[in-house]
Each structure stands twice: as C-alpha cells, then as structure tokens.
Amino acid sequence: MTDLTKHKGMANAIRALAMDAVERAKSGHPGLPMGAADIATVLFSRYLKFDPALPEWPDRDRFVLSAGHGSMLLYSALYLLGVEDMTVDQLKNFRQLDSMTAGHPEYGHAPGIETTTGPLGQGLGNAVGMAIAERILAAEFGDEIVDHRTYVLASDGDLMEGISHEAISIAGHLRLNKLIVFFDDNGISIDGPLSLAESGDQVARFEAAGWNAARIDGQNPDEIARAIEAAQKSDLPSMIACKTTIGFGAPTKAGKASSHGSPLGADEIVGARKALGWTSPAFEVPAEIRDAWRIAGLKAAHARKDWEKRLAALDGERRGEFERRVRGELPSGLGETIADYKRKLASDKPKVATRKASEMALDVINPVVPETIGGSADLTGSNNTRSKDMKAIVPGDFSGRFIHWGVREHGMAAAMNGMALHGGVIPYSGTFLVFTDYCRPSIRLAALMGRRVIFVMTHDSIGLGEDGPTHQPVEHLAALRAIPNLNVYRPADVTETAECWQLALESRETPSIIALTRQNLPAVRTSYSAENLCARGAYELAAADGDAEVSLFATGSEIEIALAAKALIERAGYAARVVSVPCFELFAEQSADYQAEIVGSARVKIAIEAAVRQGWDRFIDTDGIFVGMTGFGASAPYEQLYKKFGITAEAAAEAALSRLAANV
Ligand SMILES: Cc1ncc(C[n+]2csc(CCOP(=O)(O)OP(=O)(O)O)c2C)c(N)n1
C-alpha cells in the first residue's frame, strides 16, 4: 500500500463512519467530517500527541473541534485510534440517549472530548485558554513536564462569530505559538454559499492579529503535513486555511449546503461509497485500514512513557505539587488560612466595598493557592482582582499570574473555560456584573461542563451610581440564578466575601459568580464563626427578640438596609429577624427542615435586593413584599438612587408596618 493509498483509506474510514452514523440517527452533519477527513487523518495519525490508552495524560496535545456540529469527525477518529470506550456501538448510537456520542461533543461524555462545542466560536476561545494554561504550567514546571500543543478545527461559522475576533487577537498578542488552527475553508454554511454573507479574507485577518497564516489544499495530505510542520516551528500562533469540499465524495451533494446538516440519503451514500472506492458495509472498516489507525494510535505511547520517566525523576515535592494541581485538589493549608483571616476580620470589622473585600481575601488566598490565575477585562482597578505581588503575564513570559484580557469579555470567559478544562490552574477574572451578558454563553458552558471557573463581577447594582443605567445590572442576578449548576454569590461584607471565595474555590464542578459592590459596606458579621455560614446559602444573621413577626431577607449591600429596617420595626414594637442570602443555589441544596426554619413563619416576609424580584418568591411567597427594582436605574450618586427607587430601611419598615397594621 502506498502512503497515499493508505491515507485515502484512513480518511475514507472517517467519511464512511460519519455518513453511516448520521444516516442511522436520521440526523446530524455529514458534510464537515467528509470534507475535513484528510486534515483529521494527517493530524491524528501523524502529529497529535495523544495516547488512546491514556487519554487523560496531562501532557497530551489538545484537539478542539470548535465546529461541534461535525462531531462524527471526532467520534470516528477516537474510535479508529482505539480509545477503548469509543466502541462501534457508540457510533451506531450517535445522538441517542445516554450514548457518549451526543449530537455535539460534550465534555466528560468520552475520553478525548476536550470541551463541549456547538455554540460556534466557543471552542476557539477555549483553545486559547488551553494554550495559555500550557504556557503557564510550562513556565512553572519546565518544558520537560509540560510541552504540548493545542490544535483547533474551526469552520466558517466559528470565524464569523464575534468571539473569534477576541480569541484571535488575545492569542496573537500573547504569541501563543503552540496554538494551531485549521480553518475548514469550504465556502459553505447552512444558508448556502458563504458569499451570501461573508466577503472577508480570513488569512489577512489572522495575519493582522499577529498570526502566521497559510493557504493550502485541505484535501492534499502532503500539503497538510507540510503546513503542520511549518506551524510547529512558528514563533507565532498559526492558522492554516484548508480549502476543502464539504461532503467530499457525495456524488450530488458535495460542495453544497445540502450535505451540511442532514443525512445524505441511501442513494447518495451508495454513490459516495462508489466514488470513494469504499466497499465495506455500514460501520465496518477493512482490517488493514483499521490496523493502520491502531498503529497510529500506538505512536504516542512512547512519548507518554518517556514523560512518565521524566515526571518520576522530579524531586518528590515538585512531583507531588504537579500531581495535586492536575487532580484539581486545593492545598491543605487553605482552610486554616481562611480561619485565621476570619478571626482577624471579626476583630478589625473593616468597612469596605465587597470588591475591596475580595481583593483582601485574594491577598490571603493567592499566596497559599499558587494555581489561581487572576485577570480582568481592562477593569483591574475596578474589579480589584490583582492581589499583592501578582505579576502580569506578558507575551513571551508566562511566569506571572495575572492576565490583562483587554476589553474582551466574551473571549476572556471562553478562554477561562479552556484554562479550567486544561487543568492545573484555577482561572478567575473580572468585569462589571452588567457585562455578564457579554460572557453569558461561556458562563453557561462552564456550568454545563461542570468546571471551576470563577467570575468576579463587580459594580453589582444601582449602587455603582453615576455610570448610570447602562452599567447598572437589574435583571442579571435573576438571569444568572436561572443557569443550572452555577453558584451566584452576593456577599454582604468582608467575612461573607472571604467565605464565598472559599466556597468558589472548593466547588470543583461548579462555576461561580461573585457579585461585589462598588460602595463601602459595614461589617455585619461581628463575631468569629469557624463554620462557613455562607455554605448554607442563607442563614439567620440577626435573630428576632422572641417570635419574629417580620422576616427580612436580603443579599449583599441590602443587608445593611435590612438591619436598619429591623431596628425601625422593633422600635414600632414588633419582633423582626434578618436572613442573609448569599447564595440561592446552596440554599436549595439544604435539607427541607433547614429551609423551612430559615424561611420561617413570620406574618410578614420582605425581601430586599436592588434588582428585579424574580426568584425571591421562594422566600417571601407571592404575597410577600419585595423592595427592589422594577425597571432600569439612573445616573446619580448612589445614595440618591436608593432613595429614588425606594430601596431604603424606611420604605421597607413602612411596608412591613402597614401590612402588620392591616393584620394580614
Ligand atoms: C452560535 C451559533 N449560532 C448558530 C449555530 C447553528 N449553526 C450550526 S453550523 C452553522 C453554520 C454552518 O456553516 P459552517 O460553520 O461553515 O459549517 P459547515 O457548513 O462547513 O459544516 C450554524 C449557523 C451554532 N451552532 N452556533
């Protein structure tokens, strides 16, 4: 068998499996796998450092199928390479319940799926984060322990998405030369030829962002191999624009949108088999082609074993540290450090904004948790995410721990996901809470994938004041609380902020939002508690004198208002209590008894939060009183805004007292 015949057979195996699986599922996308099969074959069989026997090996090359709709490309390759769990039955169960072979690749479903892709552009953003994490760990542990590449297959759709701009420009800026993107340049998207909606020059675009870019025939294995080798030597990130034919081999649908996203149909498949010279029945691969793939799959085993020897040769402490980081376990000293810090806060009782409290917590946490990597989307001085002595990461020097992401919230959030997926680092970074809208697709994916990504979102209400309603979040807390598996924290003071940070770090499979104020807040936790009270999601901060007739529930900056309202209500002769609710999601995980005890049975229930009501009925019922926002904010000093929108202790107390007087 010549090399070319062998290559064609291997690539056709991907094509055949893709069209057969899509046909059997009666849905899916055969076009991309058929068009990009040559790229995948050359990459996977000759260059990708990936050991199917140990797909989690930390120093493996990463492959991200950003165009997740082409999932059968990845599943076929993993099957052919010999990933044990990826059986032919999995391919036959493509897109079926409980299979590993979901419609779009889902992280955690099968070894070798590095990230969940489907929303176009996200995978490219993830890959940038993976490449950053690789450089950071290499700077710390050395090239002999961390030295791998990140490869991406991106489609026209990936590159049309705005997020690609942010991803490409930060990668170019940081000179992530071990990032290699294949652009599946097939000129087709769902609506038809790309010319309907795009006339840019992707190669010029990448070059302008500081990349090496080349154009090749993406159906020619020699050109693909040469381009990969050139990219591997590049000192810039590389983009290889691969001219391909979507649905390659399909007699009437190749090169057309009709091969993009629906089964080819029986006749077309017969024709494609003929055109490709593929005589095997559905889901069968001839032995010699199978063997060629399996032999390719064995290639990285040597590299992996050599790496294991190098790791074993490290001194015990360094090896232990590397392994701890990869496992994602926190250093053992964190609990004690936080306890000492909370003791100090209980005695100092500083009155600071919670964004400042977060910085103070990070000053304590970062020295003992060396894997945290901080950042900000050009709001470092506002987000307070750069702790003492945190050196910035700059192009060519990844020994720092702080990333200036620039004004790129969307790309930042996707890259943070990629860092967390890569492992060995814990990414956290900030912007204003209102701009979670710009990060939301990635926040959702972090939640779906169950990754520890910490979003530090400051300026969390009208309390930010003069910047006005464009910057004042109103619906954001509710919108974020609606995302499953996302913990949304809104701490009320320095101690709660430290506790929320601890919880965020300890939540290995849940991303976190920490919403923080711009304005100063008094310390409301005035005595030391060894227990992390925020861990219960809601707890009684100030008890009533006797049976409470009024329960006040609040978060963050509105705790101060709730406490003042309590005093006013008591002055009028009624017992009232205040419950702090730093995290709805953790509260929902508590026992029914605990929840009932916290919600209580006071005659009047009031929630105070400078945001919309949605979600609060859980605490106050539909007939409870909500003191918050019903529309957008305004531009003014924050004290005036709280008055204007009626979010004051007086308003809350008055509402409670008039309810009590009405004897409801
Ligand atoms: C953010 C986002 N918007 C829309 C879609 C739906 N979608 C899936 S593939 C695609 C475009 C297909 O064109 P291309 O990316 O060139 O893929 P190809 O046709 O080459 O397979 C679209 C709009 C999506 N998956 N993600």
pLDDT of 526 above 90: yes
Question: Quick one: which atom of ligand 1 is closest to the CA of 194?
Answer: 16
**Per-residue model confidence (pLDDT) at position 1:** 79
Q: Is the CB–ligand 1 distance for residue 31 below 6 Å?
A: yes
Structure tokens at 367: 């020295």
Q: Is the CB–ligand 1 distance for residue 33 below 6 Å?
A: no
Backbone angles phi, psi at 352, to 5 degrees: -140, 160
Query: Using CA atoms, how far apart are residues 368 and 426, in angstroms rounded to an integer?
Result: 13
| Catalytic residue status for 597 | no
Structure tokens at 490: 């809104």
The whole-number average pLDDT for the span 113-138 is: 98
- Kindly tell me the number of DSSP H helices and DSSP E strands found in the chain: 25, 20
Q: How far is the CA of 436 from the centre of ligand 1 (A)?
A: 24
The whole-number average pLDDT for the span 19-45 is: 98
User: Using an 8 Å Cβ cutoff, are 516 and 491 in contact?
Assistant: yes
**Per-residue model confidence (pLDDT) at position 402:** 98
Query: Using CA atoms, how far apart are residues 214 and 242, in angstroms rounded to an integer?
Result: 8
Dihedral sign, CA of 342, 343, 346, 349?
A: negative
pLDDT of 558 above 70: yes
Dihedral sign, CA of 514, 355, 433, 125?
A: negative
Residues of the chain with pLDDT > 90, as a percent, come to 99
Q: Is the CB–ligand 1 distance for residue 120 below 6 Å?
A: yes
**Per-residue model confidence (pLDDT) at position 663:** 72
The burial class, CB within 10 Å (0-12 / 13-18 / 19+), for 662 is exposed
The whole-number average pLDDT for the span 473-487 is: 98
pLDDT digits (tens, 9 = 90+) for 296-335: 999 999 999 999 999 999 999 999 999 999 999 999 999 9
Query: Using CA atoms, how far apart are residues 145 and 140, in angstroms rounded to an integer?
Result: 10
> Which residues does residue 241 pair with via DSSP β-bridges, in sequence order?
183, 215
Structure tokens at 98: 């409980």
Question: Quick one: which atom of ligand 1 is closest to the CA of 441?
Answer: 1
Q: Is the CB–ligand 1 distance for residue 66 below 6 Å?
A: no
Q: Is the CB–ligand 1 distance for residue 375 below 6 Å?
A: no
The burial class, CB within 10 Å (0-12 / 13-18 / 19+), for 235 is exposed
Q: How far is the CA of 191 from the centre of ligand 1 (A)?
A: 10
> Which residues does residue 626 pair with via DSSP β-bridges, in sequence order?
607
Structure tokens at 39: 């790229």
pLDDT digits (tens, 9 = 90+) for 390-405: 999 999 999 999 999 9
Structure tokens at 191: 């609506």
Question: Which of 106, 120, 182 has the most ligand 1 atoms within 8 A of CB, as the residue to mutate?
Answer: 120
Q: How far is the CA of 130 from the centre of ligand 1 (A)?
A: 23
Q: Is the CB–ligand 1 distance for residue 124 below 6 Å?
A: no
* Helix H or strand E encompassing 657: helix 649-661
Question: Which of 22, 73, 155 has the most ligand 1 atoms within 8 A of CB, as the residue to mutate?
Answer: 155
Instruction: Read off the DSSP letter of residue 435.
Output: G
Out of 409, 499, 558, 609, which one is annotated catalytic? 409
User: Using an 8 Å Cβ cutoff, are 660 and 574 in contact?
Assistant: yes
Q: Residue 367 is which amino acid?
A: P
Question: Which of 260, 264, 410 has the most ligand 1 atoms within 8 A of CB, as the residue to mutate?
Answer: 260
pLDDT digits (tens, 9 = 90+) for 157-171: 999 999 999 999 999
Question: Given the structure tokens 């170019």, which residue do they identify?
Answer: 172
**Per-residue model confidence (pLDDT) at position 381:** 97
The whole-number average pLDDT for the span 373-400 is: 97
> Which residues does residue 577 pair with via DSSP β-bridges, in sequence order?
551
Instruction: Read off the DSSP letter of residue 483.
Output: S
**Per-residue model confidence (pLDDT) at position 93:** 98
pLDDT of 46 above 70: yes
pLDDT of 664 above 90: no
Query: Using CA atoms, how far apart are residues 572 and 661, in angstroms rounded to an integer?
Result: 11
Q: Residue 289 is which amino acid?
A: I
Query: Using CA atoms, how far apart are residues 230 and 246, in angstroms rounded to an integer?
Result: 25
Q: For the chain, how far is it from start to end, CA to CA, in angstroms?
A: 88
